[in-house]
Structure 1
């Protein structure tokens, strides 16, 4: 695939109303950093422009889900560490989206950073992948030992993770070179929930005393200040730092000093004792089958520790390509609460055929993703169901693509997934929901006009603020969807009998619609507790509305204790059936071991509810709803629900 094809695939092509971009035909191999460097050396980056005291960037509404154009390029940020000035560099490719993936590099001693980024192919790689680079640099005398560098690394990473000039995915790839590798690895040991995967070249590793200081540190039930703390049951075993899986590759490690680091990461990743020879990564120690690590409870034993002893040129673009291949197999989400943190495989847009499209909504260009899996036609023969996905506040479509893992469900079940991107909100580098009703109606028309989908099987889902959109639709516009299922935000009519969507009040329709909500023990304060605890909050008012609309009462639940399921019995589920039937109409699940952020492990539960429903919206405003026990896989098992 040429670089032009790649840009079209990742960016989309703007037009007056609706535009689409997708690679078609037989895919060619993606150009590598080595190929590009050989074909045309990149021009010099020049002098980095200072971020110190620079005004924050302006909003750029000409770009859908992109950092402001004025921020793309090569930048420098300085830090005062112990009376000494230290610096870090930032490179933002021309098409870097809001909350992009970043690779954090620690360059070796004795190199010019701009020349290193050009010569190694990292600058070309960032441009090709439309991602960012954050570069840690040695002091005047070079890198010192890892522990002495921690103050600088913490200061630099603190700026990187939260600033007003650019925004980050929230989880990062780390690559350390030479004496720069141990300080970066030391940060990973201290903050393993924030690292997706790491590679270290020609490293001497970390001292065993440093590793041991963190190994036994346990993750407790504390959540973010605005969330509810998680209370674990008696006898519950807390996760330790050295039980946090983190894919790791050591290239050319110092045989005399790196042993403690390698042992630490093998233990953390719960690997087999014996490695396997791999042509790309050297000797690979794979996470063992049956591993009890929390972070891979959904994905399975996908982590690994690799060691390549053969001589490798760390500055060669081909080395960079191999590093990128190792790192980008993985994604991760939830960087604060260990029990909701999940390592997963990253979505490959090219392989999956994901379209990055744009649409003009209320005069502003908006981005969205369309994933039509290859299984859609085989399973549904031109009548595929469609799931409209609304990410949480500040989560772009591309962030949520990997955070929720709807692409995995789509590949298996053949459903089409449309993921909405929000619009600029509190800052020029963040997003929030806007014009949701108009956006949905335009998206629906595009899907029905351009794709082989079933108009009777449109579903809505979302997380947090996106759940708020979904749950508001269920109350004010139930005719739009066959069913809804979302996570971590509930909605109910206010004292005037209305619900608000993007600041506009809409009357509640009081009509039944199959509805499912999943929330966490440590979730938003207004979701604290349950429906039988005597505390009346927005969880209770949400349930009362839907129970009343469906002609149900709280007492007719399948079991007051909730049915337990999932990893460590984390899910506690209550179901209410349509009157006189065994057809689920309302469902609530409490995830006893997560905070607010969603998990890909929950996505199959949402689809498992949605897939059973179909609806027919009539011109007079009435809706006929149907339930299929097989999810419409078998003919003749469809029954009509009473309206």
Structure 2
């Protein structure tokens, strides 16, 4: 453990005075070489593909970088630190350093560099102008320019949701952006901050989120109450705030997080206001009241800030009604395994999670993320790990391969990858090969659905979201650019999509528009010997938070068990929400299949999900 001499720091710059509040710091990286001068990104060619690494940013992009911006004729800069093992779509912490800080020295002495190295994550660092930080509204153009670059560039890629930490006079500039863009911030902490003024906060508080999405608009029912900006749950920690100036900010975030009026005290966090039990906030409709606002009048260690922030994750940064705050998976504590294998000549990554609840002969669920959504992204975005904990499932998350740039991934060699994974999982773990299932979101749903059509014998059942597929006019589906004939054989299948989803998926099976969802249903109904009118109810059965799920079910005529199911989430766009995996698993878990030596597939349905011996029935 390394301690920083508090008296020496207090005699130094304001930046080091801020760092003094963050001691002691566990920081073995201090023994490493200093960061030195940042290398410029301005004019630098985009990095080449690095196929020697599975799900990592190119090796040439690791290290310490600087990027400049022209803001009203003044050159401003921001820094980027990328650890040696930072993956594609990693979490980043956005740090606003205090006035007069030497950024490299601050990242080193405060421990933030070590945090990035240990956690295999990145840092994006906002810096004051030549005369120091101006007030938050004057800094808005700089913050917008810097974060605009950070959110979309071809040098590195980010998770898409962010942790914010601001110091001193840099804190309000960062907080102001969070107030204006709360869907994009997971959690935030501000050290020695004066906070924001009440007028600025009020200018955003009553703004409402409408039904516009980047795909298709969501039409709300009559009398529906829109979510306000100041109802966006966002965990917040104020550390040693300016006593007489930060009150408006603290009050704003308490209201936003729907906290109780009575506080509790925590040795680390200080005074804590927890989200109200039974809170009706949209952003915690699945996880429950997990958020909080805390105020600590003393200092805090960097590691304590990190622990506060990284207890949380968030997903869906553009549509409020699908945005959710969750508990972040701790890979080390959970024992999530990270593996690689060679697939068609390329090294590929995959994750395996075998929870303690998984018994002998555990069922296996293969999870295919959406385009650009890596295996690590999808652990948190879907919260499948919590379903696995509860249900005893062995999860296998597939990671994609570098695609349209060297910092983005998409699906490749999926058929070969699955065949290899199936054999490895069967040999290495105590699993039930009659209960292999597949799920996926978006492009990952496309993989799942195409496998179900071409190779239904691979799975006992499939259930996926936001990408229906069907055979083309030639009667084939495509996997990795290769056409495979549709098998014409039944497989239990469940699909969920959003009201505001990709245009080719939206609507219902009873409207006048023929699209991919209609084609998906027509193929599987035909294979199952059913027609559209065999549905349980044309209106759809409603369930979930605000009755958001509208579900139609078709039953196998022989066994009278569900064989095809479709749900429309009327309050989401294209991106997944963790409210859906429990629905998908509740469908999947009832099915098994056996394959005879001659290749004949026999399928079974168990009302108890195979908990009661002898209750399965043949489909």
Q: Is the 8 A contact 2:216 2:503 kept in 1?
A: yes
| Post-superposition CA distance 1:470-491 (Å, at most 9, x none) | 0001100000000000000000
1:616 aligned residue: 594
1:345 to 327, 331, 336: 327
Matched residue of 1:402: which SS?
helix
1:335 to 317, 331, 341: 317
The whole-number CA distance in structure 2 between the counterparts of 1:34 and 1:189 is 31
What does residue range 576-615 of structure 1 map to in structure 2 within 5 Å? Answer: 576-615=554-593
Post-superposition offset of 1:454: 0.2
Post-superposition offset of 1:43: 2.0
Pair 33,571 (structure 1): closer, same or farther in 2 beyond 3 Å? farther
CA-based RMSD of the aligned residues comes to 1.1
1:3 aligned residue: none
The question of 1:281 aligning with 2:263 is answered no
2:340 aligned residue: 358
The whole-number CA distance in structure 2 between the counterparts of 1:416 and 1:478 is 20
1:28 aligned residue: none
1:475 to 441, 453, 459: 453
Matched residue of 2:573: which SS?
coil
Q: Give the gaps of 5 or more residues in structure 2.
A: 1-21
| Post-superposition CA distance 1:484-533 (Å, at most 9, x none) | 00000000000000000111000001111000000000001111200001
Post-superposition offset of 1:622: 1.7
Q: Is the 8 A contact 2:39 2:66 kept in 1?
A: yes
Q: Is the 8 A contact 1:33 1:321 kept in 2?
A: no
2:349 aligned residue: 367
Pair 493,38 (structure 1): closer, same or farther in 2 beyond 3 Å? closer
| Post-superposition CA distance 1:210-246 (Å, at most 9, x none) | 000000110001001xx11101111110001000000
2:243 to 236, 251, 255: 255
Matched residue of 2:56: which SS?
coil
Post-superposition offset of 1:39: 8.4
The question of 1:523 aligning with 2:501 is answered yes
2:231 to 237, 240, 243: 243
Post-superposition offset of 1:33: 9.8
The whole-number CA distance in structure 2 between the counterparts of 1:624 and 1:289 is 48
Post-superposition offset of 1:534: 1.6
2:61 to 57, 65, 71: 71
Could you state the TM-score of these two structures normalised by the residue count of structure 2?
Answer: 0.96
| Post-superposition CA distance 1:518-563 (Å, at most 9, x none) | 0000001111200001211111010000001011111111111000
The question of 1:201 aligning with 2:191 is answered yes
The question of 1:419 aligning with 2:419 is answered no
Q: Is the 8 A contact 2:25 2:110 kept in 1?
A: no
The whole-number CA distance in structure 2 between the counterparts of 1:375 and 1:604 is 16
2:256 aligned residue: 268
The whole-number CA distance in structure 2 between the counterparts of 1:61 and 1:618 is 40
The whole-number CA distance in structure 2 between the counterparts of 1:146 and 1:234 is 38
Post-superposition offset of 1:580: 3.8
1:231 aligned residue: 219
Runs of 4+ in 1 over 4 A off after TM superposition: 32-36
The whole-number CA distance in structure 2 between the counterparts of 1:39 and 1:262 is 34
| Post-superposition CA distance 1:567-606 (Å, at most 9, x none) | 0000000000000443100000000000000001101000
Q: Give the gaps of 5 or more residues in structure 1.
A: 1-31, 314-318
Matched residue of 1:357: which SS?
strand
Post-superposition offset of 1:329: 0.3
2:12 aligned residue: none
The whole-number CA distance in structure 2 between the counterparts of 1:528 and 1:132 is 37
1:138 to 121, 128, 134: 128
Could you state the TM-score of these two structures normalised by the residue count of structure 1?
Answer: 0.92
The whole-number CA distance in structure 2 between the counterparts of 1:39 and 1:602 is 41
Pair 499,613 (structure 1): closer, same or farther in 2 beyond 3 Å? same
Matched residue of 1:564: which SS?
strand
The question of 1:505 aligning with 2:487 is answered no
2:3 aligned residue: none
Post-superposition offset of 1:42: 3.4
